[in-house]
A and B are shown apart, each in its own frame.
Chain A
């Protein structure tokens, strides 16, 4: 099965100033995106996400390695015909109206004027810009620009949609809309690459993720695989506990708080919670709930990033294979 987007041994460095040493933004990144999946590209600010995306969209040339879109090099303009791209904080020609803008972007993707005119009203309506279709983009808010950017990236019905931080700066309605659109695209069989550091959204939308850290891939896998190694915990909520038992629970909990007669405590691991719940029963307390909990992607990510030791930059010529530990 041909990958929609394939990045192999990608390296990219920049020189921040004339006399300053080069900074390696991306160091041997490799991953492949299969057709129809929603793929997440995770990482902190400066992890190399946007640089990788820019190479994939032909805005940057790699120092080493390759990036292909449907088997063709990303630098090839015809390969980008199948690509819809929403950059981070998108800006457009401000004196054009959304209707005119869609004509420009659609024509650049090979659509004829009649097709664009037929698709535009529904698309602008879908992103909530039907009333602003003939207003210049100059007066648009960040959220409205983002919505227009989505419309422009969807107009030619691309096979691959790359969204760089599409939910940043949007109001709750806008966020909901973007999520709905991503789900719709997936239902239509299209591939989505979501680049974000809003991990709750990635967890909600993506099938598979790659985690970048300091320009390298440090984890890759499905959300379930990645979180399977995450520590489990239990949250116990009980009332009317004898003082000695309450003290014992508080001593063993990783987090504990009391509100009136109700005590809520969280225990690491999957053994301590049920044991203490049984003890609550035995000693005449009232067990309100015992909830098994899994670490969220956000908690997992923060733990991962904190545990990753700083890596010294390696020379750009050598391209070691990316450190990929799937499902660890």
Chain B
């Protein structure tokens, strides 16, 4: 089973990385990293902090775009082009197909993000900065977030049309960054069901757990255990969404 998943993941990765669309999105992110220096010059505060903050925001957008692009559209494209037929008529279960597809897409997304991240580290170094642990943590956090976003996009892509799935993924990304509001609602005392909102906060995916972009500008210390816990939560939620995608895919007919 593991072998078949790895084979499919590798094929998906190669297929995604050779797609011109992915290259265009990655170049756009690279452009944002390079452009960030212009904003740095215009900034009245620490120029390099501005470079890091703007670039990381750009890479964060890249993560979302990639998840929408590769996750929401990939299976629909396979169905539309009937490339599924030669795969599913082999000794491959539908569950293995979804998991292999997911892993391939995650590695393709991570490769693009890692490329943009390395470009940022070099860019900061070129302008005399010292990429610190905050920058590293922020980049790792984005990788963790993309793990979840690709899973959500894949799940929604099984559920509905790819364009709607892409929009849904975008909405999910915004909501998952706003769950802190639930905690504030619970602790403010203004809500009737404080316990419910507190429970919802604990339960729902919170990508702020792995968001360390602000730490690059505030200079606050990095709590690596927080990143680790956040990464575990992202992995858990990803498993839930990929599991859901498997269930939906098993019911589909081609």
Residues of A within 8 A of B (CB): 54, 57-61, 77-78, 80-81, 83, 85, 87, 89-96, 100, 103-105, 107-110, 136, 149, 152-153
Shortest CB distance A68–B (Å): 15
A100 to B12, CA, bound (A): 12
Which of A57, A87, A104 is most buried by chain B, counting CB atoms within 10 A of its CB?
A: A104
Task: Decide: A91 and B4 in contact? CB cutoff 8 A.
Answer: no
Interface residues on B, range: 20 to 34
B83:A92 contact, CB within 8 angstroms: yes
Residues of chain A within 8 A (CB-CB) of B93 are 77
Docked-complex contact B91 and A108, CB < 8 angstroms? yes
B4 and A108 contact, CB distance less than 8 A:
yes
Contact A85 B11 (CB under 8 A): no
Q: Of B14, B15, B82, B86, which one neighbours A105 at CB under 8 angstroms?
A: B86
Residue contact B82 to A90, C-beta cutoff 8 Å: yes
- B190 in the interface, Cβ–Cβ < 8 Å? no
Given the contacts A59-B85, A87-B86, A91-B83, A78 and B11 also touching, CB distance less than 8 Å: no
Q: Which residues of A contact B11 (CB under 8 A)?
A: 93, 96, 100, 104
A107 to B89, CA, bound (A): 13
Residues of chain B within 8 A (CB-CB) of A60 are: 253-254
A-contacting residues of B (Cβ < 8 Å)?
3-4, 7-8, 10-11, 14-15, 18-19, 81-93, 253-254
Among A54, A90, A91, max chain B CB count under 10 A is at: A91
Which of A81, A85, A136 has a CB less than 8 Å from the CB of B85? A85
Contact of B91 among A81, A94, A149, A153 (CB under 8 A): A81
Q: A59-B85, A91-B83, A149-B86 are in contact. Are A107 and B3 (CB under 8 A)?
A: yes
Residues of B within 8 A of A83 (CB): 89-90
Chain B residues with Cβ below 8 Å from A92 are 83, 86
Q: Which residue of B lies closest to A104 (CB)?
A: B11
In angstroms, how far is the closest chain B Cβ from the Cβ of A293? 41
Residues of B within 8 A of A107 (CB): 3-4, 7
A110: chain B residues at CB < 8 Å are 91
> Is the CB–CB distance between A77 and B82 below 8 Å?
no
Residues of A within 8 Å of B90, CB to CB, are 77, 80-81, 83, 105, 108-109
Give complex CA distance A58, B254 in Å: 9
Query: Residues of A contacting B91 with CB < 8 Å?
Result: 77-78, 80-81, 108-110
Q: List 30 A-B contacts (CB under 8 A).
A: A54-B254, A57-B88, A57-B89, A58-B88, A58-B89, A59-B84, A59-B85, A59-B254, A61-B253, A80-B89, A81-B90, A81-B91, A83-B89, A85-B86, A87-B89, A90-B86, A91-B82, A92-B86, A93-B15, A95-B18, A95-B19, A96-B14, A103-B7, A104-B8, A105-B86, A105-B87, A108-B87, A108-B91, A109-B91, A149-B86
